[in-house]
Amino acid sequence: MKSLWKDADAKRLIAKYARDGINKDVALRVYTSRLLGNDARLVLHGGGNTSVKTTMKDVLGVKRDVLCVKGSGWDLGDIEPRGLPALRLEDLLELRRLGRLSDEDMVSYQRGCLLDATSPNPSVETLLHAFLPHKFVDHTHSTAVLAITDQANGLELSAEVFGDRAALVPYVMPGFALAKKAAEIAEANPDVEGLILLKHGIFSFGDTAREAYERMTSLVTLAEQRLGKGRRTVFAAAVLPKNTAGVAEVAPILRGLVASPRDDADPARMVLDFRNTKAIRNYVDGKDLSSYSQRGVVTPDHNIRIKNWPLVVPAPDAGDLAKFARAAGKAQQKFEDRCHKYFARHSGKRGAAKTELDAQPRVILVPGLGLFGVGKSVAEAAVAADLAENTVAVISDAEAIGRFQPLSEANLFDMEYWSLEQAKLGKGAEKPLARRVALITGGGGGIGQGTAEAMAAQGAAVVVLDRDADAAHAVAAGIGAGALGIGCDVTDAQAVRRAFDQACKTFGGIDIVVSNAGAAWQGKIGEVSDKVLRQSFELNFFAHQSVAQNAVRVMKAQGTGGALLFNTSKQAVNPGPDFGPYGLPKAATLFLVRQYALEYGADGITANAVNADRINTGIFAGGMLEDRAAARGLTVEQYLGDGNLLKREVKVADVAQAFIDLALSRKTTAAVLTVDGGNIAAALR
């Protein structure tokens, strides 16, 4: 592992923060924290922590010795000075006199030591940083170090690798006890460059930011060098089907299996994130996967996010997906049973009463395919997948030189059911469309764009389809993380199939489909050409059918129901002059909605429509909107507002809200919701 320190970059950051009154120590602490945090071999998703001991003035202007340590919710990779809350060091050191201190009291006391009461909570390892005498202290969960310590002979192997350069600390759960133990060992070995926390991670320290950082990279290099010696090939390959099913076919099945029942109408779904690197395939295709993958997490820091073991399912044979679904279902049931027994086995022995966590896996291993991260959101699924990849790397290295052996189950239970984590349960209310994946056609502008943005704001992962690929990508980019833009001509059945498959590969499946794409062709019905009429039917009817067929295909594979939503337009029930080419296919689509409601209600799939009118979406090209207004003797503004019963302009956001309401109405199907401000002629009778 090479040092990435650059004097020019360090000086640039010092100068930048000096303009904001941030001292050199903190600036350099930010600099090396980012170097550590942006290396996935050291730190992942909020893991690790760093600190510096410096001086600052309090609100009275009194200069204080303080510890600036990583705060909760901050990631080392992009940390700012605000993410290193300052605590009065003298007060922290007073705690060392105590024989014991509960986690809750520790957290409370630490908050009382903050110079700024609005700062984030300091790291739970704050006292370890405080009790060490060094100015700069770094802590990571290096994959190489974990591969060394996660062995049956981890103590002896670590002593061999690190010698007198690092002292060894037996596993103690993070908190006050670990802080005292680590400080005692560091003081007994005053010349070491760092501490190796067995089956947990590594600390390095120094008088300067550069010294602490480069001691980290140097110590990790020792571990990497040892992992390169005497390696054996891992893993022996299992026998796999000749034709393995694809991700797009397998993901919806798995996504359905891990959705836990919340009530009959609304299962608690999860989002998936698929990975299949060469290293992952070597790991999941191993014949002993059921052994090495089930022993536990590589560091207790991970089990809060991905549980102690992954779900392993059989290899999916492309020729018999029904068999795969049955076998995967049995594996999932065994996983749940194991989680319940694990909780029952330890909960009564580990202090205060615990609340059992859900029994949904956070990682799924699929021989012949790869792995899936599982989460309540796109971000959570990505974190799980990243940690799973990290696990693959550690266990592969550990097995190459010995035998992977993590902490005991009892120790892992204590971390997973830590009181500080239990206190967080139920505190974050989910948004209405959380855990759902919504696909919107015609999403590059107008109603489609407004609906995509509204559903994303309500918590859904969003797939934006549009004939204009640039428009689809732009809308998705505007939404940000959790959105996918796909260029797709919905009149091309194969393109629609590919788009749905891409959505399944990206998020695991689909729960809501808004079939919105359409365009208004004009012409007197007795004079319009067959070409125009057929073009209109291709987009305004057959495209809806193609989209709905693919939606049903995915939703039935998931087995968790779903919502089909169609934009039918008022022309379906209230035809206007010269709009036959548009209204006829829209009327057919209205009956298509009812047919889907009739035939797929038993699968928990609702089919509903929104009948919107007089909305300036930009869909009416060439002055068509102006023409329609003029035909009624109105301006465009009057046509959009004063021309309805409520005398209110109906906006894109109103139509989007109607789609959301129908998506959430799990016991309403075959309905048409009119959004036009009031037009009796278009009201259903």
Question: How many other C-beta atoms are found inside a 10 Å radius of the C-beta of residue 638?
Answer: 14
- CB hemisphere CA count around 211 (13 angstroms): 12
CA 314 to chain centre: 25
Q: Structure tokens of 673?
A: 């919701």
Task: Determine the length of the chain.
Answer: 685
Burial 553-572 (b: 16+ CB within 10 A, else e): bbbbbbbbbbbbbbbbbbbb
Among 497, 482, 592, 490, residue whose Cα is nearest residue 554 = 497
Q: How many CB atoms lie within 10 A of CB 334?
A: 12
Count of beta carbons in the 10 Å neighbourhood of residue 669: 21
Quick one: 28 exposed, middle or buried, by C-beta within 10 A (0-12, 13-18, 19+)?
Answer: buried
Cβ-based neighbours of 322, under 8 Å, separated by 6 or more? none
Surface-to-core class of residue 62, CB atoms within 10 Å of its CB (0-12 exposed, 13-18 middle, 19+ buried) = exposed
Contact between residue 201 and residue 220 where contact means Cβ atoms under 8 Å apart: no
Q: Does residue 342 have an active-site annotation?
A: no
Omega cis (within 30) before 205:
no
Cα–Cα distance measured from residue 87 to residue 5, given in angstroms and rounded to the nearest whole number: 27
**Quick one: which of 171, 146, 46 has its CA closest to 391?**
146
φ/ψ of 363, rounded to 5, equals -140, 135
Distance CA 252, CA 619 (A): 34
**Token duo for residue 226:** 């040892």
CB 194 within 8 A of CB 215: yes
Residues 6+ apart with CB under 8 A from 148: 154, 157, 158, 161, 223, 226, 227
Locate 565 and state its tokens.
């939503």
Task: Give the pair of three-digit tokens for residue 359.
Answer: 């029994």
Report the C-alpha gap between 484 and 625 in whole angstroms: 31
Q: Alpha-carbon distance 471 to 489, whole Å?
A: 13
Distance, CA of 374 to CA of 364 (rounded, Å): 8
What distance, in Å, lies between the first and last C-alpha atoms of the chain?
A: 73
Q: Which listed residue (109, 283, 582, 596) is catalytic?
A: 582
Q: Name the residues annotated as catalytic.
A: 582
